[in-house]
C-alpha cells in the first residue's frame, strides 16, 4: 500500500541544508520519522523514490512552520488541520521529535513539555500493565493509547466524540494501526452516553484520557465514574489521566477526582504522578 507523504519542518530543514551543501542525495523520512528513504536533490526541488516531487518553495513553506504537519498531494503541501462543525473546534497535528501531538484549538492533547506523545503514551499504559483481556479506551484522539494497549490485549474498544479528530488521525502515519488493527473497534459518540451500552464487568482495563476538565467536565463527573466502575471487571484497573499534579489546578482536580472515584465504588485509588494521573482498582 502506498502512503501519502507527511512532513514537518523536522524532515524538511535538512533538505535545505543538503541543497546548501550541494549534495545530490539525502536521507529523509516521508512519514514524520517512522521510516527513511533517499531523495534526489534537483535544481527545482527534491524527488522521492515513489516519484513524488516537492518544489523548493513548498519545502521552504513547510520548514517555516514549527507547529504544523503537512500532507503532500500532487506535489502540493496542505496543512493537516480540520475545523469541526460539530464542536466548533480546530484540530491540527503538531510535530515533535517522535510521534506528533494533536492540538484542539491550540490546546495540546498530549504531553509535549519535557516528554513527547510517544513516551507520554508508554507512561499511561505502564500504569495498567499487564494489559490483558478487553480494554476500554474512552477518548481515541490519535489512537496512541488504543494502539499500544492492543499490542497485548485481546481487544480494545475506543470511543471518539469528534469525527474531525479521526480525520486528523487518518493522515497521521503514527496512527495507522488504529485503522489497520482488527483488534481495535472504533466507536463514534460521547463516552458519557455510549458507556451505558456495555454490560456490567465487560472490561479488564480502562484507559480514561479525556480532554482537560474545562473542555469535558462531564467526563470527570461522579455519575460517569459509577458507570466506569460498573463496566470494569472485579480485579480490573482504571487509569485516569488528570494533568500535571504539581500545577495548582492539576493538584486540586486530582484530589477531587480521587474522592469521586472512591465514592463511585473503586476500592483503592493511588496517584501516578509520572503519568499525570491516578490508578483505580475495583
- Applying CB under 6 A, which residues contact ligand SAM? 109, 121, 139, 141-145, 159-162, 165, 190-192, 209-211, 216, 219
Cβ closer to ligand SAM: 54 or 101?
101
CB nearer to ligand SAM: pick between 56 and 198: 198
Minimal distance in Å, beta carbon 136 to ligand SAM?
11
Helix (H, G, I), strand (E, B) or coil at 249: helix
Which of 76, 193 has the CB closer to ligand SAM?
Answer: 193
If the CB atoms of residues 53 and 183 are measured against ligand SAM, the closer one turns out to be 183
Q: Is the dihedral of CA 20, 21, 23, 28 positive or negative?
A: negative
Q: How far is the CB of 130 from ligand SAM (least distance, A)?
A: 19
Are the beta carbons of 189 and 159 closer than 8 angstroms? yes
In the bound complex, which residue of the shown chain has the CB atom lying closest to ligand SAM?
141
Q: Between residues 187 and 230, which has the closer beta carbon with respect to ligand SAM?
A: 187
| Whether 81 contacts 169, CB under 8 Å | no
Least separation in angstroms between CB 38 and ligand SAM: 31
In the complex with ligand SAM, the residue whose CB is nearer, 159 or 242, is: 159
First to last CA, the chain: 43
CB neighbour list of residue 69: distance below 8 Å, 6 or more residues apart:
6, 7, 8, 32, 79, 80, 93, 94, 95, 100, 171, 172
* Rounded alpha-carbon distances, angstroms, from residue 26 to 32, 44, 50: 16, 15, 15
CA 227 to chain centroid: 24
Strands 134-137 and 203-208: parallel
The rounded distance, in Å, linking the Cα atoms of 178 and 186 is 8
* Residue with smaller CB distance to ligand SAM, 219 or 231: 219
| Least separation in angstroms between CB 4 and ligand SAM | 20
Supply the minimum distance, in Å, between the C-beta of residue 209 and ligand SAM: 4
CB of 270 vs ligand SAM, minimal distance in Å: 21
Question: Distance between CA atoms of 35 and 27, rounded to whole angstroms?
Answer: 10
CB of 14 to ligand SAM, least distance (A): 27
Give the phi and the psi of residue 100 in degrees, each rounded to 5: -70, 160
Amino acid at each position: 500500500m502506498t502512503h501519502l507523504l507527511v512532513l514537518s519542518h523536522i524532515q524538511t530543514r535538512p533538505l535545505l541544508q543538503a541543497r546548501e551543501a550541494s549534495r545530490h542525495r539525502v536521507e529523509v523520512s516521508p512519514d514524520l520519522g517512522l521510516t527513511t528513504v533517499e531523495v534526489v536533490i534537483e535544481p527545482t526541488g527534491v524527488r522521492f523514490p515513489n516519484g513524488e516531487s516537492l518544489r523548493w518553495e513548498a519545502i521552504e513553506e513547510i520548514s517555516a512552520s514549527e507547529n504544523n504537519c503537512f500532507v503532500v498531494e500532487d506535489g502540493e503541501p496542505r496543512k493537516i488541520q480540520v475545523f469541526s462543525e460539530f464542536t466548533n473546534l480546530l484540530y491540527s497535528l503538531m510535530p515533535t521529535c517522535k510521534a506528533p501531538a494533536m492540538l484542539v484549538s491550540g490546546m495540546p492533547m498530549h504531553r509535549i513539555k519535557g516528554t513527547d506523545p510517544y513516551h507520554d503514551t508508554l507512561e499511561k499504559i505502564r500504569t495498567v500493565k499487564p494489559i490483558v483481556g478487553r480494554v476500554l479506551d474512552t477518548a481515541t484522539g490519535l489512537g496512541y493509547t488504543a494502539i499500544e494497549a492492543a499490542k497485548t490485549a485481546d481487544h480494545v474498544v475506543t470511543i471518539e466524540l469528534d469525527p474531525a479528530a479521526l480525520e486528523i488521525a487518518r493522515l497521521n502515519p503514527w496512527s495507522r494501526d488504529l485503522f489497520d488493527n482488527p483488534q481495535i473497534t472504533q466507536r463514534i459518540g460521547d463516552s458519557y452516553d455510549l458507556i451505558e451500552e456495555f454490560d456490567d464487568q465487560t472490561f479488564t482495563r480502562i484507559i480514561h484520557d479525556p480532554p482537560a476538565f474545562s473542555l469535558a467536565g462531564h467526563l470527570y463527573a461522579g455519575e460517569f465514574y459509577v458507570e466506569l466502575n460498573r463496566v470494569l471487571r472485579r480485579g480490573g484497573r482504571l487509569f485516569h489521566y488528570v494533568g500535571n499534579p504539581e500545577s495548582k489546578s492539576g493538584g486540586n482536580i486530582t484530589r477531587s477526582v480521587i474522592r469521586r472515584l472512591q465514592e463511585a465504588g473503586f476500592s483503592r485509588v493511588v496517584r501516578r504522578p509520572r503519568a499525570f494521573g491516578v490508578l483505580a482498582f475495583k
